[in-house]
Structure 1
Amino acid sequence: MLDTHFRKYIQRIIEMGADFFIKLGRKANDITILALFLGIFSGVLVYGGYKITALIFLWISGYLDAVDGTMARKKGSSPFGTVMDITFDRIVEISIILGLAYRYPQYDKLLLLLASTIIISMTIFLTTGTMANKKSEKSFYYQAGLAERTEGFIMFSLIILFGEQSSIWLIIFIIMILITVGQRFLEAKRILKD
């Protein structure tokens, strides 16, 4: 929801990052890889209990994830770059979930449920994107929903910050993703017409 409706308010900041890396001669895929490593390191920091540092690395990773997409739109995107971007986003999410699971084993069942709902939501997202003849400004059809990337980062941030008392944030995040699953499923039914 935030990515779809509020990105226009921060797009200039994202474009500044994209222009900076383009001037350095970097390609979008380089920034995608950098975002991946920073995101994975964030998961390691979560496990180590370095909450604030983990959040800084997570949000820098997220910013670079937006920057690489803007770079791809400015300089041209490749189909493999799209595959890298979507795959690496999931690896970052898995890294955070694993860091949380090893740090807070009492939440392993909720984290497993969270991972499961993300898998279902992304399955609908990717299948619909493949089957739809529509394209957005991205290189694939983008299904909006209540829980998009920014909402995910906000919820992960709350879970990381509250640590031992994060069960309520996990439950809220799972519910948000389940609502998104419903939204995406109904949209898929509408645009793909049974």
Structure 2
Amino acid sequence: MLDTKARHLVEPAIDKAAILFLKSGLTANFVTWVAFIIGVTSGIFIYIEQPILALIVLWVSGFLDAVDGTMARQTKTTPFGTVLDVSFDRLVEISVILGLAFRYPESMWVLLILSVSIIYAMTIFLTVGAVTEKNGMKSFYYQPGLAERTEGFILFSLMIILPNYLLIIGLVFIVVEIFTSLQRLKEAREILK
């Protein structure tokens, strides 16, 4: 929801970074790789009990993830760039979940269910994007929902900084993902008739 409704608030910073990187000769795919490498370290920092570093690398990665898309749209988007972007996003999320699971094994079951709910929500998102003829700002149809990347980052951040409430936050996150899945299924039924 925030990616769709509030992007305009951070768009100036994203645009400036994209222009700077392009002028520096960087490509969108290079920035995608950098965002990925930075982002996956978040799980390591969670595991070694460095929550502030985990938050910093997670959010820097998320910012660069927005910048790489803007760079691609300002030059030329490629199907492979889209594959890298979407798949690397999931690996960053997996890193956070694994870091939390290994640091707090007593909460592993909620993190496993959370993983399943994210996989299902993303399966709907990607399948609708692949089979619909609608086009959006991205190189595929972007199906908005209650839980988009920013909401995920906010909930992951709360899990990282409030580990005593990991179970409760995880359960809320699961409910948000289930709601988003149902929301996307309903929209898919309407647009794919």
After TM superposition, the score normalised by the length of structure 2 is: 0.99
In structure 1, how many angstroms separate the alpha carbons of the residues matched to 2:165 and 2:104?
10
Matches within 5 A, 1:1-194: 1-193=1-193
Is the contact between residue 22 and residue 71 of structure 1 (CA under 8 Å) also seen in structure 2?
yes
Instruction: Give distance in 1, aligned partners of 2:136 and 2:149.
Output: 17
Amino acid at match of 1:124: I
Q: Aligned letter for 1:49?
A: E
Output the amino acid matched with 1:90: R
Unaligned runs of 5+ in 2: none
Find runs of 4+ consecutive structure 1 residues off by over 4 angstroms.
none
What is the number of equivalent residue pairs in this alignment?
193
Counterpart residue identity of residue 3, structure 1: D
User: Once the 2 structures are TM-superposed, how far is the Cα of residue 33 of structure 1 from its aligned partner?
Assistant: 0.3
Q: Unpaired runs of 5+ in structure 1?
A: none
- What letter matches 1:172 in structure 2? V
Offset of residue 135 of structure 1: 0.7
Cα deviation, 1:95-136, whole Å, max 9, x if unaligned, reads: 000000000001100000000000000000011000000110
Deviations 1:121-171 (A, max 9, x none): 000001100000011011000000000000000000000001133211111
3-state DSSP of counterpart to 1:166: helix
- The alpha-carbon deviation at position 23 of structure 1 amounts to 1.1
Aligned counterparts of 1:120 and 1:165: Cα–Cα separation in 2 = 24
Q: Aligned partners of 1:28 and 1:138: how far apart in 2?
A: 13
CA RMSD of aligned residues (A): 0.6
Local SS of the residue matching 1:169: helix
The secondary structure found in structure 1 opposite 2:6 is helix
In structure 1, what is the Cα distance between the partners aligned to 2:109 and 2:185? Answer: 25
Task: Tell me the distance in 2 between the aligned counterparts of 1:179 and 1:60.
Answer: 28
Check whether the contact 1:104–1:164 (CA below 8 A) recurs between aligned residues.
no
The answer on whether the counterparts of 1:29 and 1:81 sit within 8 Å (CA) in structure 2 is yes
Name the amino acid aligned to 1:181.
S
CA distance in 2, matches of 1:115, 1:127: 18
